[in-house]
Structure 1
Amino acid sequence: MAHDLHALDDAYLAFWREYQLCTLTTLRPDGTPHVVPVGATFDPATGIARVISSRGSRKVQNVLAAGDAGLRVALCQVDRARWATLEGRAVVRDEPEAVADAVRRYAERYRQPRVNPERVVIEITVDRAMGRA
């Protein structure tokens, strides 16, 4: 079920604030999918979803391999019959302000993450929302 990104309903947005684990699907350079569990946040005001990660992780390397244009990805979460998917273009950001902002958002939804000097943030500019919340 597709949703209008500019008119997401309260139930859909509330689902993205709950403590739910997600999956992030990226594509490897050979085109095969790489799906991993992640914690994620979504800011509907800016249309940006964020995933914090280590610089050397496969998901980060997949996004970086796509170059400056970024990589099309899917971020999903499911809880029984409720589900939500955000799709968009992902880039890796390593600026201290961007990482600190992503960590703050992650801590609000989940918990304070461990210190990680190799931390970066995968920022997804969402252009499609689907689901049933």
Structure 2
Amino acid sequence: MGVTQHYSVQVTGRKPLSASAEAFLAEPLSATLTTIRPDGSLHAAPVRFTWAGDLGLARVMTVGSSRKARNLAANPGSRVALCQADGFRWITLEGTATVSNDAREVADGVSRYARRYQSSPPDPPGRVVITIAVDRVTALNI
């Protein structure tokens, strides 16, 4: 029976994650993005995302009319949690999120997504990118 490892890290000054955490975040898995609705209740949605450890940024492609994007538009700079799990391994990235429809930012998000998942994301009208400036990481068994 293996030893369970759990840790929580405040990410300041772009402190790098462990090699095992970076490797786990590079696996082409899905995650759950949790945002806060305008009424204060939580909204959780399955998403695909990318991680740029050197920048401390996670990105999620979506459309501006999605509940998650509308939640963030209603409360700019609000905190979110992005949790990737695989069996008994998981990592949660927390931070403040912004939504952008800027063509360069969306194109960068699409490029990163295509590299991680080996295919382009859907291209619906109104596509935006949610960028999360990660400042806290919690993990188990990675």
Which residue of 2 is the match for residue 53 of structure 1? 62
* Partner deviation per Cα, 1:83-115 (whole Å, 9 max, x = no partner): 000000001011000000001111111121122
Which residue of 2 is the match for residue 101 of structure 1? 108
- Over the matched positions of the two proteins, sequence identity in percent amounts to 46
The amino acid across from 1:3 in the alignment is: V
The amino acid across from 1:73 in the alignment is: V
Determine the C-alpha separation between the residues in 2 that align with 1:7 and 1:99.
25
Which residue of 2 is the match for residue 113 of structure 1? 121
Q: TM-score, normalised by structure 2?
A: 0.88
Q: TM-score, normalised by structure 1?
A: 0.94
Which residue of 1 is the match for residue 130 of structure 2? 122
Following superposition, the deviation at residue 59 of structure 1 comes to 0.2
Higher gyration radius (CA): 2
Determine the C-alpha separation between the residues in 1 that align with 2:17 and 2:110.
24
Contact 2:95 2:132 in 1 (8 A): yes
The amino acid across from 2:49 in the alignment is: A
Report matched runs for 1:11-26 at 5 Å: 11-26=20-35
Determine the C-alpha separation between the residues in 2 that align with 1:62 and 1:4.
25
Runs of 4+ in 1 over 6 A off after TM superposition: none
RMSD: 1.1
- How many residue pairs get aligned? The number is 131
Which residue of 1 is the match for residue 98 of structure 2? 91
Q: 1:40 aligns with which of 45, 49, 54?
A: 49
